[in-house]
Amino acid sequence: MSAEALRARIAKLDSEIAVKTDLEVLKKLGQEKSLASRQLNAILDPVERLPVEISSEIFLQSIHQPFPRPGARHQAPMLLLHICSAWTTIALTVPALWASIEIIFHAAKDLNALRIWFQRARQSPLSVSLWGHFDDWNRSRDMAVTILGHGGQLKHLKIYHDGFGISKGPNLFEIGKKSPIVKSLPTFAMLETLNLSCGKFGSGFPVPQILQLLHLAPNIVEINISATVRCRTPIPEDLRVVLPRLRRLTLHPSDPGKHDQIFNYFSLPALEFLCVPNTAVAAGNLQGVLQRSAPPLQELVTDGKSVDVLVKGYFDLVPSLERLTIGDPQSKFLTDFCAAVTDSFAVLPQSPQSHHRALWKDGRSCTLFEASRSRGF
């Protein structure tokens, strides 16, 4: 039936519905109108005429937020459920649409949303962003258990601590150990990226909690920490962790001071990229992790505060280093740095175009860039 014929059919049904009073007749006419409307939509809606594979990809491209919020009805994927029944059907048959979610950790309504989204995601790799106060995981035991229950599907995990100070109290994993639902589940074998951040000065996470999580994630590839990472109590030796596939590590503490305690418990044999301020890491601890790991480190991003740490901590221990980015270097630092490496490197004049000095040693190259404060140091 053509679009014109269907429009005429719908208009006729509207006229009949307007004059009929019998409930059974009205019900039948309403069903016929609904069917005709769906048929008309199928003709007029271009998405309806596309193969499911193409329409699914279009829906996936409509998601602009890396972690959609379940309450955002004006954004995909929730928006797709409020257009028409055809779009709803398509959206609910695409598990990847529901594989990412941002939730407020202590919100009961978000717990229900989390369960629904996980159900719709089926076996898809999951990306989860948790936002809230993590001073007492017991307040959200059910949510913690739900997340751990799908730990084998987690691919990307982001935790944003909005409380004050270092997160205290029982952590996610202690709760999980007490749950019969979680006890026998596998580790976070699919987890590739971990982002830990905080919203207040000096806030962060205890080192043991981070190490516990990493013990569950043997295949992790990238870690980004923008938070305080300290521990005022002794850390058990059994929390030492080898991360054989970790290639990128970024540490931006939320307050000044040393935050290198965690490096004493790392072995990073595959590390290629390291971003860490010299002011947050003691030279000895840095040298320790590099000596233990012997990583193929290729790129380093740091600040221009300590020439000694740079030369002895990086150049001498990491012959594979190819690119060095210095955040906010002072002129005296650049002078001292060049003086410290002239015995081993040929230092070229600074280029006015790229603002860098190229250094060579034994056939390898290293480029010193003068970065701006926007790098975070």
Question: Domain segments of the chain: what residues?
Answer: 1-44, 133-286, 298-377
Contact between 321 and 301 under an 8 Å Cβ cutoff? The reply is no
Q: Six-digit token pair at 269?
A: 């044999």
- Cβ atoms of residues 302 and 277 within 8 Å: yes
Give the mean pLDDT of 257-275: 83
Whole-number average pLDDT of the chain: 75
pLDDT at 247: 97
Q: What is the pLDDT of residue 304?
A: 63
Q: How much is the pLDDT for 374?
A: 34
Predicted pLDDT at 98: 93
Q: Is the pLDDT of residue 211 over 60?
A: yes
From residue 4, give the alpha-carbon distance in Å to each of 9, 11, 35, 242, 326: 9, 11, 15, 68, 68
- pLDDT tens for 290-333 read 888 889 988 888 776 666 666 665 666 777 777 777 765 555 66
SS3 content of the chain, % helix, strand, coil (to 5): 40, 20, 40
| Nearest CA-CA partner of 134 in 161, 95, 98, 96 | 161
**Residue 70, burial from CB neighbour count under 10 angstroms (0-12, 13-18, 19+):** buried
Handedness of CA 209, 105, 147, 197 (dihedral sign): negative
Average pLDDT estimate for 285-289:
77
Mean pLDDT (whole number) for 355-368? 49
Q: What is the pLDDT of residues 96-127, one digit of tens each?
A: 999 998 887 766 667 888 888 999 999 999 99
pLDDT digits (tens, 9 = 90+) for 66-77: 778 776 777 788
pLDDT of residue 154: 92
Is the pLDDT at 137 greater than 60? The verdict is no
Tokens representing residue 15 in the block: 């006229």
User: Which of 306, 319, 300, 246 is closest to 280 using CA atoms?
Assistant: 306
- Mention every residue, 6+ apart, whose C-beta is less than 8 A from residue 295: 268, 269, 270, 271, 272, 318, 320
**Residue 184 DSSP class:** T
The pLDDT of 280-294, averaged and rounded, is 76
Q: Residue 145: what pLDDT?
A: 78
pLDDT digits (tens, 9 = 90+) for 150-182: 888 999 999 887 765 555 544 555 544 444 444
Q: What is the pLDDT of residue 135?
A: 59
Segments in the chain forming alpha helices (H) = 3-19, 23-44, 46-49, 52-61, 85-92, 108-121, 141-149, 172-177, 207-215, 283-293, 307-310, 331-341
The confidence score (pLDDT) of residue 364 equals 47
